[in-house]
Amino acid sequence: MPEKRIVLRNCGVIDPKRIATYLDGDGFKALHKAREEMTPEAVIDEIKVSGLRGRGGAGFPCGLKWELARKAHGYEKYVICNADEGEVGTFKDRYILERDPFTLIEAMSIAGYAIGSNRGYIYLRGEYHYLLSLLTDVINQAKEKEFLEHFDIDIRLGAGAYICGEESALMDSIEGKRGEVRYRPPFPPQSGLWQQPTIINNVETLMNIPQIILNGARWFSQLGTEQSKGTKVFCVSGDVEKPGVYELLLGSHLRDLVEGLALAEKIKMIQIGGATGRVIPYDMIDTPLSFETILGAGAVTVFDESRDVIDMVYRTMEFLAEESCGKCTPCREGTEVMLDILRRFSNRDGTERDIIILKELSNVMALSSLCGLGQAAPNPVMDSLEYFRSAYDNRMRNVKAGVVT
Ligand SMILES: Cc1cc2nc3c(=O)[nH]c(=O)nc-3n(C[C@H](O)[C@H](O)[C@H](O)COP(=O)(O)O)c2cc1C
């Protein structure tokens, strides 16, 4: 597999517990360069020109987000690292935090300098509590070496809600409230944590920052495709022989990623991007992985011929219905109605009318839900209807084992 390591370059190379090993390489040189040789605006320009887009799922241009926060007025500004990693099938942020936490700390400090913030938070997934002591220690080591003189970092632990990875619910959670999606606008760069300008970036997004500052925007922008610059870290799991974390140039083909890890002829379908991601059949294995085509947060779950597509979609919807925060009706009710219908198909009791309702409901949810959960929850259902329609047809009422009675 043609791996290209930018984000994971230090993983397995440095000792994540000892700052000295990070400093032996180019540790904190990017922060030094940014602070000593560049204005905050120049840092933001560099990130904008690099074309770096968010790796947390939505793909928003990173430099533009930072610029909006830089220009916004507030008595404080905040940098939040989204380490909630609740997406089904993702484990890359954990892998990075375990192996190279120093780069993240450095990147957050650069972000603070760029937007004019002296306070950052790492919002850590509750299940990753075992990383709390490592991260606290890493921050303390950086403080002792005076790398965090201008920027302080705190850690906040989530409590296991998928929705708290969504940026506005995440801020509610840090503020000590129940995590619920906020109405937008205003967007976080204008009014975020405690109504102050805030940038929220995924762990992987931030990991690119020091290398862009050191090597320049032009270097980064030459990697990848027209609208998808750099690399992506993928989490491959499911029916593969070597599940794991792999970093590839954006635009690489799905085939590059999964073939060799699985026996190709046995693959039935692949779910890309987690619970709200896309489901594609094996014959689309030559799809490039990029923001232009299909990507999400980097989860790639492989299902072999023994798996049942309706069962898989049903379980996915069960998760989404359970995790919906309940604030908006289309998501709260829509996921439950979809679940009911999928249950009917599981019990071989679906109808043609159910299919029509699934399609109509899918449009309503996509157009009117408050956040990405409700907007994208229908994706697996719609994809399974498009690519695996016969699975539904075979489970209609009055159809027994594929034969109309
Ligand atoms: C239901 C839901 C869950 C999310 N979970 C995460 C998550 O665990 N980690 C993450 O980085 N982004 C998550 N996001 C995306 C964030 O809202 C946000 O777009 C992201 O943190 C921005 O960072 P980026 O621009 O660096 O990608 C989630 C979004 C939704 C709708």
Q: Look at residue 398 in the predicted model and tell me its pLDDT.
A: 76
- Each residue's pLDDT, cut to its tens digit, for the chain (405 residues) gives 789 999 999 999 999 999 999 999 999 999 999 999 999 999 999 999 999 999 999 999 999 999 999 999 999 999 999 999 999 999 999 999 999 999 999 999 999 999 999 999 999 999 999 999 999 999 999 999 999 999 999 999 999 999 999 999 999 999 999 999 999 999 999 999 999 999 999 999 999 999 999 999 999 999 999 999 999 999 999 999 889 999 999 999 999 888 877 665 589 999 999 999 999 999 999 999 999 999 989 999 999 999 999 999 999 999 999 999 999 999 999 999 999 999 999 999 999 999 999 999 999 999 999 999 999 999 999 999 999 999 999 999 877 655 543
Q: How many helices (H) and strands (E) does the chain have?
A: 18, 11
Closest atom of ligand 1 to 85 CA is: 8
- Show the ligand 1 pocket: residues with CB < 6 angstroms: 54-58, 60, 82, 84-87, 162-163, 165-167, 200-202, 205, 371-373
What's the one-letter identity of residue 325? C
67: CB partners within 8 A, 6+ apart: 44, 48
Closest atom of ligand 1 to 375 CA is: 31
- Cα-based distances in Å from 177 to 181, 257, 326: 11, 40, 15
- Cα-based distances in Å from 324 to 127, 171, 174, 185, 338: 19, 17, 19, 21, 13
Neighbours of 293 (CB within 10 A): 16
Distance CA 150, CA 266 (A): 54
The backbone torsions φ and ψ at residue 147, rounded to the nearest 5 degrees and listed phi first, read: -85, -15
Torsion of CA 108, 114, 118, 124, to 10 degrees: -30
Alpha helix segments (H runs only) across 72-130: 92-99, 101-115
Q: How far is the CA of 405 from the centre of ligand 1 (A)?
A: 47
Q: Look at residue 89 in the predicted model and tell me its pLDDT.
A: 95
Q: Look at residue 265 in the predicted model and tell me its pLDDT.
A: 59
34: CB partners within 8 A, 6+ apart: 43, 110, 113, 114, 213
For 402, counting Cβ atoms within 10 Å of its Cβ (0-12 exposed, 13-18 middle, 19+ buried), the class is exposed
**Smallest CA separation from ligand 1 atom 12, residue:** 56
The backbone torsions φ and ψ at residue 378, rounded to the nearest 5 degrees and listed phi first, read: -70, -10
Give this prediction's pTM.
0.96
Q: Look at residue 405 in the predicted model and tell me its pLDDT.
A: 36
Q: How far is the CA of 165 from the centre of ligand 1 (A)?
A: 5
Distance CA 184, CA 312 (A): 32
8-state DSSP, 289: B
Neighbours of 356 (CB within 10 A): 10
**Smallest CA separation from ligand 1 atom 28, residue:** 166
Evaluated on CA atoms 327, 328, 329, 335, the torsion sign reads negative
275: CB partners within 8 A, 6+ apart: 87, 88, 162, 316, 319, 320, 377, 380
Q: How far is the CA of 57 from the centre of ligand 1 (A)?
A: 6
**Smallest CA separation from ligand 1 atom 29, residue:** 166
**Smallest CA separation from ligand 1 atom 5, residue:** 165
Q: Look at residue 399 in the predicted model and tell me its pLDDT.
A: 73
Distance CA 115, CA 15 (A): 30
What's the one-letter identity of residue 399? V
Pair 16, 100: CB distance under 8 Å = yes
Pair 57, 275: CB distance under 8 Å = no
